[in-house]
């Protein structure tokens, strides 16, 4: 089996089956879940650590200092994990991998996961909210006022900007909603400083 460190940093995608093997072979491998705490509570890879993307971005230097060379970033589909990988690269940790297919893909491949309270994931909520607002704008434009159609245009513009900048203002807003809050939200102390410190040279050994 190829070790995480033997690949070039540019090759960042990691298949669920490969992660299953690495979890068995490498005790120093750290899996960082960058979804919201509520999503983590609903379903997560056993042994993974919850560090939501906003918290990771805010304390990126502290986090990078605690991680070794064997790091796998996971989210729902890979989008947020890739954002986290790019942020970590700016802090000097450019050997992190992104799990293909996210946590659902890992579970579908037979990976060991922990299941909790069922919730809609954040990306699904964004699609529902955007679609509903577009429909509302079209219906309102026909029966209320043509100006209401501007709502559909605004949503389209927002989605285009989101894709171009690889950010999601709607997702950030939805994550703050009460139903997306976990019983215990991660903090710098509980999510960053509580991580076990991994030696930087850990990934050098195959």
75-129 confidence digits (pLDDT tens): 999 999 999 999 999 988 888 999 999 999 999 999 999 998 777 777 777 888 8
The alpha-helical segments, DSSP class H, found in the chain are: 16-25, 37-42, 53-58, 60-66, 79-90, 102-108, 122-143, 150-165, 169-175
Distance CA 96, CA 41 (A): 23
C-alpha 186/C-alpha 113 separation (Å) is: 20
| C-alpha distances out from residue 142 to 20, 97, 154, Å | 53, 48, 17
pLDDT digits (tens, 9 = 90+) for 148-157: 778 778 887 8
In the chain, domain spans: 4-119+182-204, 122-179
Q: Are 30 and 67 in contact (CB under 8 A)?
A: yes
CATH H superfamily, domain 4-119+182-204:
Rhodanese-like domain (3.40.250.10)
Structure pTM?
Answer: 0.69
Residues of the chain with pLDDT > 70, as a percent, come to: 86
């Amino acid at each position: 089996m190829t070790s995480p460190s033997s690949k070039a940093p540019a090759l960042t995608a990691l298949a669920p089956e490969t992660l299953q093997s690495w979890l068995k072979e490498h005790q120093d491998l750290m899996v960082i879940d960058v979804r919201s705490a509520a999503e983590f509570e609903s379903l997560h890879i056993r042994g993974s650590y919850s560090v939501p993307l906003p918290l990771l971005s805010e304390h990126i230097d502290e986090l990078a200092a605690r991680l070794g060379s064997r790091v796998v970033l996971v989210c729902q589909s890979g989008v947020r994990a890739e954002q986290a990988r790019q942020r970590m690269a700016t802090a000097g940790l450019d050997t992190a991998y992104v799990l293909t297919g996210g946590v659902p893909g890992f579970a579908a491949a037979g990976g060991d996961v922990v299941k909790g309270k069922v919730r809609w994931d954040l990306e699904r909520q964004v699609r529902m909210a955007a679609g509903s607002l577009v429909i509302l704008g079209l219906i309102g434009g026909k029966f209320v006022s043509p100006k209401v159609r501007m709502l559909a245009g605004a949503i389209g513009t927002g989605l285009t900007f989101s894709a171009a900048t690889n950010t999601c203002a709607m997702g950030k807003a939805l994550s703050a909603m009460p139903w997306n809050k976990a019983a215990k939200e991660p903090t710098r102390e509980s999510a960053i400083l509580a991580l076990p410190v991994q030696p930087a040279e850990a990934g050098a050994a195959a």
